[in-house]
Chain A
């Protein structure tokens, strides 16, 4: 083989082999981009009602303004936002709310004093999709527990 082909051949083999790295070195599998493990949507679920949730957080500032708390506002990715804040706050974890207050109020002139987690449950039924509003979970900046 001439030299360019040899180098290209080695590079091809190397890239293919390196795709095994995220599978073998699990601890770093999420930080090896562009070498990824390609397991997507791999888990299955048993037969039963098809249910999904819509959750969103609304913040109320000291001056009484209402503002939607989004990934843009917090400066984290959607996955991190769900994992660090939305999901724990939905299970009434006030430490997650505290961390979110800290992150949001870091550089704000009009800080958030209240975060309201609103959610709805949607269920697939024979007659269509049924929506059910869940109780609002409220976190106050000066209170320890959610209300």
Chain B
């Protein structure tokens, strides 16, 4: 039977998505991601209440909101009082996910809550791209061992194990601890590529003529009072260079999937790209900054773990792979 190619494909698929990895990195990612969502870019309740108070119907309901209203009458959830309860319940679930109490359930429900809040906000004729990938990442954490370490769950489990077996647990490894990061990486590559190619298709090479970026930056910076953007809009050569950089970065970010050693450079560039967009035009892609930051730290940690080990050696032994620690011991 010629199942050889299928087995090879499956092996490669598993090797890519499900390698044995420490669960500690994913736990740190959970804390960073949930913490950022809770304390940095959590939706504002007053905005939701204002939308609910001033609109008796949705202007352009999102799919998720239509699904909810198909089951529940609008008056049940989409009233200021009911929505406030829903909002604070989502906050509580977020805190549970952050500290790692019933981690995966809390993470799943927290992500559902966040998704409903964002979909609600975008049901009044507007929608933005900032949150979409981050929500997928949060959801993926709920289906991975993100609470196996650095969590209340892990603490309780260790206590239980210590009581019954009279010994501490060994550092956690799992083959399900890497796929959320790889997933975020693939989605970022896909969406950057889509953004870059759409510029080339719709705008053509003219997108890099400098005037295009000057025009966009000028309009955004003017209406958002951003001095650096106003300055950039007056510098044609800088606008040409940044246009070329934008197209190159967005279109070729996918190379970070194919050339793993170059991936940290793309993630670092991604962070500065979004900081640049924010300080010149006010585009607040905080979620993309956080995603790129987490990928930089944990997708291919070897490069900077090596650097840290070289300079700080023994001080950072916790950072080494559990297998390395075991080997050293």
Residues of A within 8 A of B (CB): 1, 4-5, 8-9, 11-12, 15-16, 19, 28, 30-48, 50-54, 72, 74-80, 83-84, 103, 122, 124, 128-129
B127 proximity list for chain A (CB < 8 A): 30, 33, 36
Interface SS of chain B: helix, strand, loop or mixed?
Answer: helix
Q: A43-B203, A76-B55 are in contact. List 17 more A-B contacts (CB 8 A).
A: A5-B17, A15-B187, A19-B187, A19-B191, A30-B60, A31-B62, A33-B64, A38-B191, A41-B199, A42-B207, A43-B212, A44-B209, A51-B215, A53-B219, A76-B125, A77-B124, A84-B125
- Among candidates B13, B194, B214, B234, residue contacting A128 with C-beta atoms closer than 8 Å: B234
- Among candidates B143, B194, B216, residue contacting A11 with C-beta atoms closer than 8 Å: B143
Size category of the B interface is: 35 or more
B59 touches A34 (CB 8 A): no
Q: List 17 A-B contacts (CB under 8 A).
A: A12-B17, A31-B63, A36-B127, A38-B192, A38-B195, A40-B198, A42-B195, A42-B198, A42-B203, A52-B218, A75-B51, A77-B126, A80-B59, A124-B214, A124-B233, A128-B234, A129-B234
B59 touches A76 (CB 8 A): yes
B132 proximity list for chain A (CB < 8 A): 33-36
Residue of chain A at shortest CB distance from B235: A124
Task: Please judge, given known A-B contacts A9-B17, A52-B222, whether A41 and B183 are in contact too, CB under 8 Å.
Answer: no
Residues of B within 8 A of A (CB): 10, 13-14, 17-18, 50-51, 53-55, 59-64, 66, 115, 118-119, 122-127, 129, 131-133, 135-136, 143, 175-176, 179, 183, 186-187, 190-192, 194-195, 198-199, 201-204, 206-207, 209, 211-212, 214-216, 218-219, 222-223, 230, 233-234
B215 touches A50 (CB 8 A): yes
Max count, chain B CB within 10 A of own CB: residue among A41, A46, A54, A77: A41
A82-B186 Cα distance, complex, nearest whole Å:
35
**Cβ of A127 to closest chain B Cβ, rounded Å:** 10
Task: Please judge, given known A-B contacts A79-B125, A83-B125, whether A72 and B190 are in contact too, CB under 8 Å.
Answer: no
Interface SS of chain A: helix, strand, loop or mixed?
Answer: mixed
